[in-house]
Amino acid sequence: MQPDPIRIVCPACGSSEIETAPIVHHLICAYVGPSYDFETTGGHRCPKCLRALRNHDRAAEIVGESARCRLCETEFIVPHDPAQDA
């Protein structure tokens, strides 16, 4: 029997209206932030060093997952779900 997945709720207001995004580590300049920080109208660009990122770029890696509450806009890190490792 699989354990129930972790239910994500906002730590500030308790809402379950949460949107998640991968956390990206740009290896060239060491910037770490949610993927939406890298989004621009012309593609993806590091907000710190302004270098363009491409799909499957070896200069960037996903290191976790962040969440943002749609109601109060609180941002927080999503805890790792060990059930996903099984």
For residue range 35-82, list pLDDT tens digits in order: 999 998 888 999 999 999 988 889 999 999 999 999 999 999 987 665
Task: Note whether 30 and 3 are within 8 A (CB).
Answer: no
74 in a structural domain? yes
pTM exceeds 0.85, yes or no: no
Whether 80 is in a domain gets the answer yes
Residue 57: which of 48, 66, 41, 45 has the closest Cα?
A: 45
**Total domain count for the chain?**
1
Residue 77 lies in a domain: yes
Two tokens, residue 67: 């969440």
Cα separation, 17 vs 44, whole angstroms? 26
Q: Does residue 12 sit within a domain?
A: no
CB atoms within 10 A of CB 34: 19
Residues 3-36: pLDDT tens digits?
555 678 999 999 999 999 999 999 999 999 999 9
